[in-house]
Structures are given as C-alpha cells and as structure tokens.
Amino acid sequence: MTDDRVVVALDVGGTGMKCAVVRPDGVVVRAERHPTDAARGPAAVVGTILDVAEGLADKARADGLTPIAVGIAVPGVVDEARGVAVWSANVGFRDVPVRDLAVARLGLPTALGHDVRVGGLAEARLGAGRGSGHVLFVAIGTGIAAAHVVDGTAAVGAHGAAGEIGHILVRPGGPRCGCGRPGCLEAIASAAAIGRRYAELAGQSADAPVTAAEVAEPPVTAAEVAQRAATGEPLAGQVWQEAIDALADGLASGQALFDVATIVLGGGLAQAGDGLLTPLRAAMRERMTFHREPHLVAAALGDEAGCLGAALLALDAVGVRDHQEKR
C-alpha cells in the first residue's frame, strides 16, 4: 500500500531551524535548514517559522505528497496542551501561541513541543532507546535537560517544565547556576561549566588570574578537556572526573525516580563517546544500591533528533502512530 501522507517538522533553536518533511515511518523525504536570526525579535521569528512550514507543505504537495500535520519544537518552557511557547530566552518567546498561529496560516493540525522532550521522543522511538519502553534522554550541552519517555510518550509536567534534571542539587554551596542557585548539576557538568572550571583552575596554577571574559567564554571547550583528560593531563583529568561524579549523582537521582531501562546521553558532551560513557557507567554502578543499573548509551540521531521528534509529535496529534513498531 502506498502512503502519500507526510508531516512538516521544524526544530527551532537559538541560531538555526532544522526543518523536514517526514513520512509516517520516520523517513525524511526533504530536509532544510534556515537561520533563526533571533535578534530580529519574536514576531519576525514566528513569521519565518510560518513561512518555512508553509513552504515545506507546498513543496510536499508539489511532490505529490499529502501534508497531514505540522510539528514545531522550541526551547524553553512550552505548554504543549495549549500550544503556547511560554518562555524562551534563546528565541525571545514569551507566551506566543505558536500552534494557533500555525493552524490559522497552514490549515493543518499542529503540535507544539519542547526541543529536548521531542528529541527524547525521537531517541526513544527511532534511535538509541528503541525497544526499551522506559527511557531517560539527557541532553548535555550549554545546559542539561532531560526527557522521560514511557512507551513512546514524553512526560510534559503540570506546568510544561518536566525534565529539568540540570537543576537537581548535587553540590550544596557549589558553583552558582544560571537559575540563581548554587550547586545545580548544570553548574558543574554542562559543557559550558566544564570549560569554565578548567579555565579557572588553569588560571590559578599559572599564577595569571583568568579574566571575566575567559570565564564567560572559556578558551578551552569541554571536548578539549575530555581529550586532554584522555591523554593523561592531570588538571583536565580532575575537572573531567568532577563532572563525571556530578553527572553520576544527577543520573542516579533520575534512576531512583524513574527506574528506566535505558539512559540515552545526547548533546555536545555525548560526542566524547567512551571517554564519557566508560567512567560514567563505573560511577553510576558505585551509586546503585537496590536500583537496577540502566543501560547507558550515546544518542544515535545527532542533531536530527529534535526535528524527527517534532514529526513524531505531529503524527501523534493526528493519531498516526505505527512507525516505530514497523521499522
């Protein structure tokens, strides 16, 4: 049986939008990238989102396909039930009714989702968590956020803010987090925090105090810290191990709460591969008492996860959900 149905999917980030036309079986038939250019302000960004979505729907029709729904993922706090982007620092959104605007413009059912939650949806159903049932997807980049996915559905929370694992308190009195509280996981183990910590300690040991600019924009990235740790540089090894220990504390809390089969690590830091996974598995094992140790794996879909997840959300919105079992 041929199926000409497709959905239009957009993953809107602070700098760029990943966009695609996706079939119900998860196959991408067309992919595009567009700049977000958030400095133009939220109204202009919404305008671009709608233009791009409409353009993709038109191109799909020209290819003989039938767009049946639209899925849009944005960062920040997202009220999925009302389809409202409540708050997003990256994109400048505040209470933007993205779903209603898209429905009005395209005349198609539209689902609005949170970027990390839909990324987790995609990893759980099409990627590294496939077949696991209970999955915790943790994206480690500038910040740390998670999605708890059970049988292919990501928990949203009562206020659209579920999964903020980066703000689990792991080091009381520790470095101050962007949220204002000292000692959050994100303040120690995000890629940004790792680079910052290394710059701080390197500055101290070199007797040259680091400048405020270097702390804000670390000259050494987390990936470089991971590399230097792997080659045996003591300072990098120390900073890396501090991050691993904090991550293990945070993930152990996640496991105590959710008892998942698989934890999928995504975001920039997961690109460290075994340099992250091997010590993190060991640190997790030390922290497990009666809880079952989850499989700890790297994400499989890379930066496509958000766009694929937006497509899954769109398919779910119109009740088309046969893809992951059939693949």
The 3-state secondary structure of 8-40 reads EEEEECCCEEEEEEECCCCCEEEEEEEECCHHH
Which residue of 177, 220, 276, 312 would you call a contact of Zn ion, by CB under 5 A? 177
| Nearest residue (CB) to Zn ion, 179 versus 256 | 179
Q: Counting contacts by CB under 5 A, is residue 184 touching Zn ion?
A: yes
**Angle formed by the axes of helices 222-230 and 191-205, nearest 10°:** 60
| Nearest residue (CB) to Zn ion, 42 versus 178 | 178
| Nearest residue (CB) to Zn ion, 19 versus 192 | 192
Q: Give least dist CB 179 to Zn ion, A.
A: 3
Q: Would you say 138 and 119 are in contact if contact means Cβ atoms under 8 Å apart?
A: no
Q: Counting contacts by CB under 5 A, is residue 60 touching Zn ion?
A: no
Q: Counting contacts by CB under 5 A, is residue 65 touching Zn ion?
A: no
Q: Counting contacts by CB under 5 A, is residue 46 touching Zn ion?
A: no
Which residue of 167, 196, 197, 281 would you call a contact of Zn ion, by CB under 5 A? 167
| Nearest residue (CB) to Zn ion, 46 versus 184 | 184
Stretch that binds Zn ion, among 61-69, 123-131, 164-172, 257-265 (CB under 5 A): 164-172
Q: Counting contacts by CB under 5 A, is residue 228 touching Zn ion?
A: no
Reading the block at residue 221, the tokens are 């990235």
Which residue of 89, 150, 179, 257 would you call a contact of Zn ion, by CB under 5 A? 179
- For Zn ion (CB under 5 A), the number of binding residues is 4
Q: Taking CB under 5 A as the criterion, which residues in 261-280 touch Zn ion?
A: none
Stretch that binds Zn ion, among 58-66, 171-179, 224-232, 295-303 (CB under 5 A): 171-179
CB count in 10 Å sphere of residue 162: 18
| Nearest residue (CB) to Zn ion, 105 versus 167 | 167
Q: Give least dist CB 143 to Zn ion, A.
A: 9
Q: Give least dist CB 185 to Zn ion, A.
A: 8
| Nearest residue (CB) to Zn ion, 106 versus 177 | 177
Contacts with Zn ion, residue ranges (CB under 5 A): 167, 177, 179, 184
